[in-house]
Amino acid sequence: MDISYPPETEAFRTEVRAFLSETLPPDWKGIGALDEEAAWAFARDWRRLLAERRYLSLTWPEQYGGRGLTKLHQVVLMEELALAGVPFGLPQDTFGVKMLANTLLRWGTDQQKAHFLPRILSGEDTWCQGYSEPDAGSDLASLRTRAVRDGEEWVIDGQKVWTSGAHHSDWIFVLARTNPDASRHRGISFLLVPLDQPGVEVRPFRMMSGQLHFNEVFFNGARTRADLVVGGVDNGWTVAQSLLGVERGEEAATNPILFKAEVERLVELARLYGKDQDPVIRQRIAWCWSKVEIMRYLGYRILTGWLKGTEPGPESSIAKLYWSEYHTKVTDLAMDIMGLHGQVPVGRPPLRTYRTDDPGAANSSASWSTTYLIARSGTIYAGTSQVQRNILAEKVLGLPREPRAAAG
């Protein structure tokens, strides 16, 4: 396997490293080393710098404020940001910059691109994702939220759940059923809906980690303009599937970096608690290290397909199942190393609300114990472990489809 990068992307890597060297303080240890207030202040300023350098819009066409570079340039950027311990924008940029903007570039009308892309890039509009519902999580095609055309508007009724950051967002992209007579995967449309209106209610709920991140979103006669359908009426399932593939390459490159930094921090935790010579602890740490190395090469495989423009396949299910199940084991080990100290969270909790804490985070009991709780959710969000195993059983092993429960 040739995992080297071509000269043009290595030249871009040099540019990014120079930018990081010029911008970050000499004693920079990563955003995780800052306290919560300072970290948020840094993240806001950092986002502005990335937008000014057009790093947030690196692969966008120049006419929309981008640099017109390739997916591989994007991967190089994400690698260097992860290694430096700095974020790619703010949390909601995952939905606006990464997901929606790339979806609009592929499926949006000229008017949609011209209006929304500059506002996403500037941060004027923040976005969240309206996919999952109480009875349509992993089985998204079962969604019941519906949209009915009323003149020059769509009227939306229904409920979404597990909506990350909705309480901090201005807009939501929603999958809604626009043709109830069509089959499960047809008759669904991808709508852009403003949240600040009488027909929308957002209810945050607290996770077991103590953080406020997820929300329920209720639509009761909510409205959006008729022209705010992306990809055409009743074509939302196809649009939604392309959106889900947006982050494949970036995550394939950055996940191993973040998980390796976490293992290195775990080694320091064992030393801190005087357990670095314990043979069982050492063996478990070595197991974690080997799994992260395997994750790295699995990432290269996924990255290769992503760069070739292939649609998400079974390897996505393998990767999701792999890292989420692994992460429960590594955080189990952290709790075992801390012992009773892990039951009394002290210090700063994680800044990130999913996967690892940020690079540079202190080995506080609050950081590890909260990450331990968050790790459990990793086996649920973005498709449960059970769903991923079903996909692999059917698409890779050729086993028969799992029987569906009879309606009613």
Residues serving a catalytic function are 247
Query: Phi and psi of 225, rounded to 5°?
Result: -65, 150
- Give the closest residue to 143 by CA, choosing from 155, 130, 152: 130
C-beta of residue 79 within 8 angstroms of C-beta of residue 227: no
C-beta of residue 228 within 8 angstroms of C-beta of residue 193: yes
Query: Given the DSSP bridges, would you call strands 212-225 and 153-160 parallel, antiparallel or unpaired?
Result: antiparallel
- H-only helix segments in 101-156: 101-107, 110-122
CA Rg, the chain, in Å? 22
Query: Given the DSSP bridges, would you call strands 171-177 and 188-194 parallel, antiparallel or unpaired?
Result: antiparallel
> For residues 40 and 21, what is the distance between their CA atoms, to the nearest angstrom?
21
Query: Given the DSSP bridges, would you call strands 171-177 and 127-130 parallel, antiparallel or unpaired?
Result: parallel
Residue 313 corresponds to which tokens in the numbers above? 């396949």
Residue 363 corresponds to which tokens in the numbers above? 């080995």
> For residues 256 and 279, what is the distance between their CA atoms, to the nearest angstrom?
25
C-beta of residue 66 within 8 angstroms of C-beta of residue 394: no
C-beta of residue 128 within 8 angstroms of C-beta of residue 164: yes
Give the DSSP per-residue string, 341-368.
GGGS--SPPPS-SSSSPPTT----HHHH
> For residues 211 and 60, what is the distance between their CA atoms, to the nearest angstrom?
34
Angle at 131 between CA 127 and CA 136, to 5 degrees: 160
Residue 111 corresponds to which tokens in the numbers above? 């008017």
Burial letters for 250-283: b for 16+ Cβ neighbours within 10 Å, e otherwise?
A: bbbbbbbbbbbbbbebbeebbeebebeeeeebee
- Give the closest residue to 105 by CA, choosing from 63, 74, 60: 60
Output DSSP code: residue 62: G
